[in-house]
Structure 1
Amino acid sequence: MSDRQLGGVNGPSGNFSTRSVSMETSDDRFIVSVDDDPDADTVSMGEMSGSNYTIVHDLSEEIGYVVVQGDESWMPAEAEFVRDRVIQIDDPVTQLSPDEVAKPDGLDPQSIQQWDKLEQNAGQIPADAGSGARIGIVDSGVIGAKAGDGVPEHPDLPRGSKVLTGSGEPNDDGVFEGPSYNFTGDGTGPGPVTDPHGTECAGTAAAADNGTGVAGIAPGAEIVDLRVFPAEGGAATGDILAAMVAGATPRDETVNVTVGEVVDDSMPREVRGSGCDVLNLSLGLPPLVPIPEGPLPSLPSPLIAVPLRTIAFFGGMYTSAAQYALSEGTLPIASAGNSGVGLGIPLSDDRQVPRLQDPEIDAAPVTFPANAEGFVSVGATGPIGYGWSADGDGVFFQTELPEYEPAQYSNYGTSDPTIAGGTAVDVTAGGGNFDSGAFASIDAIEAGDPIFDLLYTTAFTGDRRGGSLSPNFTFTAGTSFSAPNVAGLAALLYGFGDDPTPEAVRTTIEESAEQLPVGRAGQTAAASVGTPNAATDSVFDGDSPSAPGRVSGRLDPADHRGNGHIDVLAAIEPFLQG
């Protein structure tokens, strides 16, 4: 075993990283609730337009909010507003750097390295499934999305037929055509700059089944890049809202948001809607605990105490954006988060993580956008102990728990509509896992065999500002990647269906999901093909969560999986038979 150990995770000779989710408050940018009703208790769009503020995104007609930049002292007394929050990507729990992974030659799209696709029998999904559906990736950019910039396309995400482009410049009428956009104001146009996270999500959802590399759940679906993470730093909440609105707006309509190649003046532009059927948001705030009144207590990491008003405002913003998307026929999907926290479960409840329990605090953690009403919130599952047999005969075996076990890091929890109006986890999907013990044999790991507990997907290396990006693949894990698996399933249903509503797509996903016990009895190291490593030969009694000691007592499976673990073939079977 390699002697490299970061964050308690052992791995082969590679560069593992554990990223954190943080939240920063802007000093000069605000999200304001606006209402043109003269009897409303807040300001009108006319008042904000006539003020000293610079309008960044005018979302007043679509969701009733406007993003402005300026001095807080200019704000009208009756305005309801919050400082814009800058958040980080709901980053992978652990990730093997792409430069440590050699690009395989002629890899079968349904390779054994894609266990998340194999457990969904993805080989039975037609290569053109999802055709006609668009998935908007609200993230750090998708490789190949900028038209004419010389950046190479990824072989599994071909430009034009898979990844739809945007130029970053308006047409002769001053309208930005998209459908891919950059909302950050960093002046670089669509497409990623350095961070492959959005490309990883895109490949997980919809990489082409083209005889090379990997394949996504919806191999025929189109990808739209809705970039909200700038070249440096985190994403502003206002930009995320703008991306959702533009992404959901139909292709024959326009919206006024700030996009473009050079946006120093931060002026809203007339932007044509991207017409997405699905929006994937693999991002989120850290777990927030609403405190009704009085001083804010200091809470154990990763919890952050915030005023109840702030929770209500953020929940209202994201709910309004989700409701707008739904009204335009678009289904928004969000990752539940990687903090291992019981969302919607009071800190006084013994179902909460033991180290976070506090008998004096009845408030429950929430996170946005996952907890906002209208989103499909996705938790992660993953195997523990996949690998090659030690004798080198090529036998692939499972040493411990199956693929649908809740991942240690995944947030979990039940609905608490009195706080957030949404649900903690609606469904689960493969997101990857990691094991602090042996993955397979020491010999196999030191020989460089892949870590099958992690998801394998599209990626790249390089910095677009200093040269071209180099397409690649990576191993990764997180709810960031369980969410696009569900987004891919949603795209399949849009592609197969006769103009289905997002509510119908959501119902099919949830009703076809399978609810399974947690820590199933009989899942031992000897229960699968091959000869397992003795170090992982342990018995699970069926009464314990997959991370024993994390939660006292047994949680109801619905606390982990909501409506259950997705079943792609069960969801699309009527269409395949037809």
Structure 2
Amino acid sequence: MAVTPGPDVGTDLSSPLIMNRRTFITAGSASLGALTLGSTAAVADSTGRFVVDRTSLRTESDLEIVHELEPVDLLVVRATADRLDRSGAAYAPDRQLAVDRYRPTAVAGLESSAPARDLTDFQWDKRDQGVPEAHEITRGEGTRVAIIDSGIAADHPDLDGQVDLDLSRNFAPDEYGVGEPYGGTHGTHVAGIVAATDDGSGVVGSAPGADLVDLRVFGAALESRDRGDLPPAYWRETYMGDVMAAIVYAAEIGCDVANLSLGWTWEMRMDGWGKFWGTVHQRVGRYARRQGMVHTHASGNWGESLQFNRDETDSSETAGGLTTSATGPVGFDPETGTYDEPPHSPSTYTTHGVGAIDLAAPGGKGGEFTHDNVLNAIALPQFDDDGTYLGADYGHAWFAGTSMAAPQVAGAAALVASANPRYNANQVANALTRTAEIPEEYDRKYYGRGYLDTLAAVRD
């Protein structure tokens, strides 16, 4: 495996990555490397789980209800197809989503006892977006952002006090709770991009004044996937019904924004359930917007166009959502702040397509040069052989993916909502798209309405 060193701090980066429980690892003395984390969801039919139009049911008495999406007249149930057919119910099998294409590129690390230090010089994404200047106007105070993901490490030093645990919920098919990275580090990294604290150490998020809500949809796998020298990854499948329930709940509790770094695609139109699932996505997406909630989506990391793919559906089709492609620099130098190629240049892995993408945002280039990816907080869960959660190892890492681009938009939306408390969801989204521009030298298919300009949107 190629090793990409982090910043030179006079230490031996050839050592293996060693982290103890609750150890705080700082990037700089322990670079966790460049990981390309794909959020593409491979979809398969579930067994025994269905999403049902509640208005079509004559009785619910013999159904096991998993989630009740009351505002949109939907249920997620365990039942048999025969039972639902006899009742005349309108339904579709729930769809299982499995995180796919977790594509690491490089890692370098070592054990560290050094105190945390300011890492914002490495955050080209925040510098490019004018986030420090935007914070002179607002830090996102008074807003609430749901992170629908693998779980947030609420007591990571960069997220301490940022997560509302009372409102947080577990929608995953397991018995673990919230406020910990039970499903792996992905959700913590995403949460940090949105709202990591600006306390002078570690990293900063776009909207550090916002409150986060941990809505975990990916379950915990007690055994790490074998990924060689890379940090372990813990997650299990989720279901589309879990994701839809989390969106509805986020809207019900008054979230201003929900981020879903969960790009998915499947041949829904070909399997006979397309019309029903289309209705589900329309109801949920429109309800969220009516409640005043912007929802941001990762487009996926498989590098293909969604524009002409008429046989499949994807995460861009949830009504009212902002689907985000990824960009990143080449040759970023944190000491000088210069690049060989600008941060708005498209990433090769990003899914794209006119009509499918709403905005482009910094997600990292995805190559082996660490600094061209997105630096933020991570937390690696630990379990014993009996499945007891033992805590997490905290640190920072460079990731790349549309999973990192979507929360840039979510954080910007929180800033706009904070600066304009009377705005509804459409007005917040319009401010983001109105101030975005397509770079002259690049193709519109990568950008939708344009490249996110956080500072311009806040000033708009």
TM-score range, shorter chain: 0.7 to 0.9
Q: 1:212 aligns with which of 172, 197, 201?
A: 201
Kindly provide the CA deviation profile for residues 166-218 of structure 1, in whole angstroms up to 9, marking residues without a partner as x: xxxxxxxxxxxx30011124111113214011111100011111111000111
TM-score by length of 2: 0.83
Task: Measure how far apart 1:98 and its partner are.
Answer: 9.0
Q: Cα 1:194–1:229, aligned 2, differ >3 Å: closer, same or farther?
A: closer
Aligned to 2:339: 398
Aligned partner of 1:239: which letter? D
Kindly provide the CA deviation profile for residues 496-521 of structure 1, in whole angstroms up to 9, marking residues without a partner as x: 113310000011000000111345xx
Q: Distance in 2 between matches of 1:91 and 1:330?
A: 29
Aligned to 1:366: 313
Aligned to 1:505: 428
Q: Cα 1:402–1:15, aligned 2, differ >3 Å: closer, same or farther?
A: closer
Q: Say which SS state the counterpart of residue 390 (structure 2) adopts.
A: coil
The alignment yields a C-alpha RMSD, in angstroms, of 2.6
Aligned to 1:188: 176
Aligned to 1:284: 263
Q: 2:132 aligns with which of 111, 123, 126?
A: 123
Aligned to 1:259: none
User: How do 1:317-356 residues align onto structure 2 when only pairs under 5 Å count?
Assistant: 317-346=280-309
Task: Measure how far apart 1:466 and its partner are.
Answer: 3.9
Q: Say which SS state the counterpart of residue 23 (structure 1) adopts.
A: strand
Q: Cα 1:342–1:435, aligned 2, differ >3 Å: closer, same or farther?
A: same
Q: Cα 1:126–1:428, aligned 2, differ >3 Å: closer, same or farther?
A: same
Aligned to 1:112: 121
Task: Measure how far apart 1:101 and its partner are.
Answer: 8.5
Aligned partner of 1:461: which letter? L
Q: Say which SS state the counterpart of residue 412 (structure 1) adopts.
A: coil
Q: Say which SS state the counterpart of residue 398 (structure 1) adopts.
A: coil
Q: Cα 1:457–1:497, aligned 2, differ >3 Å: closer, same or farther?
A: same
Q: Distance in 1 between matches of 2:414 and 2:34?
A: 33
Q: Distance in 2 between matches of 1:484 and 1:15?
A: 18
Q: Cα 1:469–1:123, aligned 2, differ >3 Å: closer, same or farther?
A: same
Aligned to 1:55: 65
Structure 1 contact 104–213 (Cα < 8 Å) conserved: no
Task: Measure how far apart 1:396 and its partner are.
Answer: 5.5
Q: 1:87 aligns with which of 97, 118, 125?
A: 97
User: How do 1:148-167 residues align onto structure 2 when only pairs under 5 Å count?
Assistant: 153-159=155-161, 162-165=162-165
Task: Measure how far apart 1:386 and its partner are.
Answer: 2.6
Task: Measure how far apart 1:125 and its partner are.
Answer: 2.7
Q: Cα 1:364–1:573, aligned 2, differ >3 Å: closer, same or farther?
A: same
Structure 1 contact 113–452 (Cα < 8 Å) conserved: yes
Aligned partner of 1:425: which letter? I
Q: Distance in 2 between matches of 1:103 and 1:163?
A: 26
Q: Cα 1:100–1:455, aligned 2, differ >3 Å: closer, same or farther?
A: farther
Aligned partner of 1:386: which letter? F
Structure 1 contact 33–79 (Cα < 8 Å) conserved: yes
Q: Distance in 1 between matches of 2:73 and 2:280?
A: 9
Q: Distance in 2 between matches of 1:344 and 1:218?
A: 32
TM-score by length of 1: 0.67
Q: Distance in 2 between matches of 1:290 and 1:185?
A: 23
Task: Measure how far apart 1:290 and its partner are.
Answer: 5.8
Task: Measure how far apart 1:63 and its partner are.
Answer: 1.2
Extract unaligned runs of 5+ from structure 2.
5-12, 15-32, 222-235
Task: Measure how far apart 1:24 and its partner are.
Answer: 2.4
Aligned to 1:311: 274
Structure 1 contact 404–565 (Cα < 8 Å) conserved: yes
Task: Measure how far apart 1:469 and its partner are.
Answer: 1.3
Paired-residue identity, %: 31
* 1:461 is aligned to 2:380: yes
Q: Cα 1:220–1:92, aligned 2, differ >3 Å: closer, same or farther?
A: farther
Task: Measure how far apart 1:76 and its partner are.
Answer: 2.7
Q: Say which SS state the counterpart of residue 476 (structure 1) adopts.
A: strand
Q: Distance in 2 between matches of 1:489 and 1:28?
A: 40
Aligned to 1:411: 351
Highest relative contact order (Cα 8 Å, sep 6+), 1 or 2?
2
Aligned to 1:256: none
Aligned length: 412
Q: Distance in 2 between matches of 1:207 and 1:321?
A: 28
Task: Measure how far apart 1:479 and its partner are.
Answer: 0.5
Task: Measure how far apart 1:102 and its partner are.
Answer: 5.6
Aligned partner of 2:126: which letter? K
Task: Measure how far apart 1:311 and its partner are.
Answer: 3.1
Kindly provide the CA deviation profile for residues 383-424 of structure 1, in whole angstroms up to 9, marking residues without a partner as x: 123347xxxxx555423x211011111111122xxxxxxxx1
Q: Cα 1:466–1:289, aligned 2, differ >3 Å: closer, same or farther?
A: closer
Query: Larger C-alpha radius of gyration, 1 or 2?
Result: 1
Aligned partner of 1:229: which letter? F
Q: Distance in 1 between matches of 2:419 and 2:103?
A: 34
Task: Measure how far apart 1:365 and its partner are.
Answer: 4.2
Q: Distance in 2 between matches of 1:132 and 1:138?
A: 20
Q: Cα 1:317–1:103, aligned 2, differ >3 Å: closer, same or farther?
A: farther
Structure 1 contact 344–414 (Cα < 8 Å) conserved: yes
User: How do 1:7-26 residues align onto structure 2 when only pairs under 5 Å count?
Assistant: 21-26=41-46
Aligned to 2:364: 432
Aligned to 2:77: 68
Q: 1:475 aligns with which of 379, 398, 422?
A: 398
Q: Cα 1:102–1:403, aligned 2, differ >3 Å: closer, same or farther?
A: farther
Structure 2 contact 45–95 (Cα < 8 Å) conserved: yes
Q: Distance in 2 between matches of 1:290 and 1:25?
A: 11
Aligned partner of 1:228: which letter? V
Aligned to 2:26: none
Q: Say which SS state the counterpart of residue 246 (structure 1) adopts.
A: helix
Q: Distance in 2 between matches of 1:81 and 1:336?
A: 27
Q: 2:218 aligns with which of 225, 229, 232?
A: 229
* 1:30 is aligned to 2:18: no
Q: Cα 1:395–1:510, aligned 2, differ >3 Å: closer, same or farther?
A: closer
Structure 2 contact 35–398 (Cα < 8 Å) conserved: no
